[in-house]
Chains A and B, each alone.
Chain A
Amino acid sequence: MEGELWALGAESKIIRAVWQERPVAIKSRVVKPYLLADIDELLRRQRTARECKMLTYARSLGIPTPAVYFIDRRNNAIVMDFIEGEQLKEVAQHADIALLEQLCSKFGTMIGYLHRGKVVHGDPTTSNVIVDPMGKLWMVDFGLAEWNATVEMMGVDLHLVHRALETTHWDRQDTMLDAFLEGYSSVMGAAAAAVLSRMEEIRERGRYH
């Protein structure tokens, strides 16, 4: 299958191609020469397998994700639907405040659905949310996702959202976080409070006092 290089990230490259007349994305995890080979191999295998299963599982929880067509375990590559659209990270640069609030609230509901299903995303940044031309949100990049999530794991997930907003969207972070948490809480209901207080606690860790 041939295609054009569409994105080169820290851990993977994505090739855009056509398969059975569908636009697909071929995501392969590349070798990191600076890691010990044993670790590198294990991570690439584990994350490819995890992403593959999780894309499908997350959809069953109500989160739009690209459909997986097949997996090439030798090259640690996944062939999935190509989602046309723009990263939420980019949309957030130009969207007006009403649209931004609406998108972040939807982002919050998606993480809420995941957490309600005892799954954490593991890298819930605005780069991993795609806004398609119809305004629908899709979640991608599930390589660091985990099952059987505890309150601690969910707290970390929310902490990562907070961190992504403060480093990448510092000028609009308050609006975005409020809208995100509003969406999240609307799905999580009473269970949200414990996760939110854990998020605050996690933020204070890792620094000596």
Chain B
Amino acid sequence: MALISLGLEGTAHSFGAGIVTSNGEVLSNVWDMLLPKEGGIHPREASQHHAELGPDIISRAFDEAGISPNEIDIVAFSRGPGLGPCLRVTATMARAISLALKVPLVGVNHCVAHVEIGCFESGFDDPVTVYVSGGNTQIIAFAGGRFRTFGETLDIAIGNMLDTFGRIVGMRFPAGPIVERQAKEGSKYYPLPYSVKGMDLSYSGMLTAAKKLYDDGVPLEDICFSVQETAFGMLGEIAERAIAHTKKRELLLTGGVARNNRLTEILEGVAARHGAQFHRVSPPLAGDQGAMIAWTGLLQHQAGDHLEVSESYVLPKWRTDAQDIIWRS
């Protein structure tokens, strides 16, 4: 009989609850994102958001799935990496559910979950994954029993760069989609620092330079165009290096910034050059949500992994490559 898993995600500004079965059905996937009136995400405000809305989001997940809480077999939660206060609120809810319903607790790595839900949707076995969001920019691939980070940002994440730039030029949060719309109107390329180091990259230099272009009165659509071409070009290049290096045949794009069509086009080009298959994770599964935690929790549970409540402290700095991936060989 199929197992039913409840997954709770709460590493940053979003809280989500998803219910997934071991047959691969997503029964529900409810989430809510903190939208600050101004400025960025404050960890404490985000954790308060999760504490206030979490219980209702979880109830809605059960309602939409059409099951009652005592039908679940496991509860999984995002154990890290992420903002400490957010992780602790989420873990507290998961522990309470585990104890009240007497179901095993599973601690899931947020970055690993992004990769696994992408594999779930695409049917990929062993991809190079480009994981791009507000807080993360990583190129991840499986090697030697672990998901290893082949490349990542040396300073700020791509989403953070786009949001910060957007805030400077008066766009609301999240700025990524607005930058994308503006970029479509632009055509003149203004050179920005292109900073690739090995398979890593850096975005802080181009952010400063883009700000300067804005101060100099360069049309916003041209800056947005130049920002996208530079930032996504760098990602395309390190993704290509990772594919050439690992010789893997699948390229997966996931995370909140996966919604961007220009980035998708660039990575399709990368995959085509190497005869690799490409998949962009669909928006409902690409951002931070509970279904990915529920699904990865099932994989871990079926491989015999579970966590004692007394041992279930959160791991704010949990590296992607610090977990033995016992469900993959």
How would residues 24 to 37 of chain A score, 1 for a CB under 8 Å from any chain B CB and 0 otherwise?
00000000111110
Number of contact residues on B: which range applies?
Answer: 35 or more
Q: Which of B28-36, B51-59, B232-240 contacts A (4 or more CB under 8 A)?
A: B232-240
Which of A156, A163, A167 has the most chain B CB within a 10 Å cutoff?
Answer: A167
Give A161's nearest chain B residue, CB to CB. Answer: B198
Given contacts A39-B194, A167-B143, A205-B154, whether A10 and B317 have CB atoms under 8 Å apart is no
168-188 of chain A: CB within 8 A of chain B: 168, 170-171
How would residues 122 to 161 of chain A score, 1 for a CB under 8 Å from any chain B CB and 0 otherwise?
1111010000000000000000100000000000100110
A125 touches B198 (CB 8 A): yes
A39 touches B230 (CB 8 A): yes
Q: Give the docked Cα–Cα distance between A96 and B75 (Å).
A: 46
B316 at interface, CB cutoff 8 A: yes
Give B266's nearest chain A residue, CB to CB. Answer: A34
Give A153's nearest chain B residue, CB to CB. Answer: B197
Given contacts A156-B200, A163-B199, A171-B144, whether A206 and B153 have CB atoms under 8 Å apart is yes
Chain A residues with CB under 8 Å of B4's CB are none
Chain A residues with CB under 8 Å of B288's CB are none
Minimum Cβ distance to chain A for residue B65 (Å): 30
A166 at interface, CB cutoff 8 A: yes
Which of B189, B198, B240, B270 has the most chain A CB within a 10 Å cutoff?
Answer: B198
Given contacts A36-B229, A39-B233, whether A209 and B200 have CB atoms under 8 Å apart is no
Minimum Cβ distance to chain B for residue A116 (Å): 20
252-268 of chain B: CB within 8 A of chain A: 265-268
B198 touches A10 (CB 8 A): no
Give B226's nearest chain A residue, CB to CB. Answer: A36
Q: Give the docked Cα–Cα distance between A127 and B144 (Å).
A: 18
The secondary-structure label for the interface of chain B is mixed
Given contacts A39-B189, A43-B194, whether A167 and B150 have CB atoms under 8 Å apart is yes
Q: Give the docked Cα–Cα distance between A125 and B194 (Å).
A: 20
B270 touches A34 (CB 8 A): yes
How would residues 292 to 322 of chain B score, 1 for a CB under 8 Å from any chain A CB and 0 otherwise?
0000000000000000000000001101010
Q: Give the docked Cα–Cα distance between A3 and B162 (Å).
A: 46
Minimum Cβ distance to chain A for residue B281 (Å): 19
Minimum Cβ distance to chain B for residue A114 (Å): 14
Given contacts A39-B189, A207-B317, whether A123 and B273 have CB atoms under 8 Å apart is no
A95 at interface, CB cutoff 8 A: no
How would residues 190 to 204 of chain B score, 1 for a CB under 8 Å from any chain A CB and 0 otherwise?
010010111110000
Q: Which residues of B contact A (CB under 8 A)?
A: 12, 81-84, 135-137, 141, 143-144, 146, 148-157, 189, 191, 194, 196-200, 229-230, 233, 236-237, 240-241, 243-245, 265-270, 273, 316-317, 319, 321
Q: Which residues of A contact B (CB under 8 A)?
A: 9-11, 32-36, 38-39, 42-43, 122-125, 127, 144, 156, 159-160, 163-164, 166-168, 170-171, 202, 204-209
Beyond A10-B244, A208-B135, list 15 extra A-B contacts (CB 8 Å).
A32-B237, A32-B240, A35-B236, A38-B189, A39-B194, A39-B233, A156-B154, A159-B154, A160-B198, A163-B199, A168-B143, A204-B317, A205-B154, A205-B155, A207-B81
Give 18 A-B contacts (CB < 8 Å), ordered by A residue: A10-B245, A32-B237, A32-B273, A34-B233, A34-B265, A34-B267, A35-B266, A36-B229, A36-B233, A39-B230, A39-B233, A122-B197, A144-B196, A166-B148, A168-B245, A170-B148, A207-B81, A209-B317
